[in-house]
Amino acid sequence: MRTNERPGRQMATLLALAFACALVSNALAGPTRRLAWYPTHPAPRPSTNPAPIAAAPPAPAPPALAATAPGPVAKASPHPAAPLSPAPSTPALQDLYPAPAHGAPFEIEDAEALALHRAGALFLDARRTSIYEEGHIASARLFSYWEDGLDAKLQVLADATFDFKDPVVIYCSGGDCRDSHLLADRMWPLGYRNLRIFKGGWPAWKAMGGPSAQGREVVK
């Protein structure tokens, strides 16, 4: 039994010495170097790879705009726009071809007859219907002096808001033909004061190539 007690005593002595050494060591050592009296788990070390930061949620996309082509950018004018002046009025036919002071019928030549036709003056054909249909000045109205119905036609013309100061060109077969003069003498007492007799008549008009027509009268 004695042989077994000796190693036990030695072990107890060693443990006592070790404990004493630990006390002395803890007393002399700093607080961070003291020996632990019981087993502990080591504190986790901070990771050298930090956890990824969660990305912020994406901002909502703006509402889609309709695709339109960029229009031209209007530039401000350095000068204010001038007020628009009214368009000049077209002179009346009687202003271009006024009636003579005496107001009586008078004769005109080829050039004036053509200019009046282009300006839109009224042309009256004093010949008979059969001759008129063979050929006449374009847009001329048939007012045959020797045929029935002349008075009715003159009355219709007077009632059709016709201005008696507007020029009226009367013609017949030219030369010795007096039908145009007779028709003018018939119209003058009714108030017409701008009667012009185309002296050359239909033959002169046809010779200079003026606008012509055939067939029956077409009254608009």
Q: What is the pLDDT of residue 1?
A: 46
Contacts 24+ apart (CB under 8 A), 95-103: 97/121, 97/167, 97/194, 97/196, 98/165, 98/194, 99/165, 99/167, 99/193, 99/194, 100/194, 103/188, 103/193, 103/194
| Among the ranges given (31-35, 58-62, 102-106, 121-125), the one the predictor scored with the smallest mean pLDDT | 31-35
Give the residue from 38, 213, 41, 11 showing the smallest Cα distance to 123: 213
Contact call for residues 218 and 177 (beta carbons, < 8 A):
no
Q: What is the pLDDT of residue 217?
A: 83
Q: What is the pLDDT of residue 4?
A: 53
- Separation CA 30–CA 26 (nearest Å): 7
Domain membership of residue 76 (yes or no) is no
Domain membership of residue 156 (yes or no) is yes
What's the domain count of the chain? 1
Domain membership of residue 175 (yes or no) is yes
Domain membership of residue 105 (yes or no) is yes
∠ CA 37-42-45, rounded to 5°:
150
CATH code (residue 191)? 3.40.250.10
Contact call for residues 18 and 25 (beta carbons, < 8 A):
no
Phi-psi domain of 166 (left: phi exceeds 0; alpha: psi -120 through 50; beta: other): beta
Greater model confidence, 20 or 125: 125
DSSP 3-state assignment of 113? helix
Greater model confidence, 93 or 49: 93
**What confidence category does residue 39 fall into, taking pLDDT thresholds of 50, 70 and 90?**
very low
Domain membership of residue 152 (yes or no) is yes
Range of the domain at 176: 97-213
- Separation CA 158–CA 161 (nearest Å): 7
Domain membership of residue 86 (yes or no) is no
Domain membership of residue 91 (yes or no) is no
Has residue 56 got a pLDDT over 90?
no
Give the residue from 157, 159, 160, 149 showing the smallest Cα distance to 195: 157
Greater model confidence, 101 or 179: 179
- Output helix, strand, coil percentages for the chain, rounded to the nearest 5: 35, 10, 55
Dump the DSSP string for 161-210: T--TTS-EEEE-S-TT--HHHHHHHHHGGGT---EEEESSHHHHHHHTT-
Domain membership of residue 219 (yes or no) is no
- Separation CA 215–CA 145 (nearest Å): 19
Has residue 149 got a pLDDT over 90?
yes
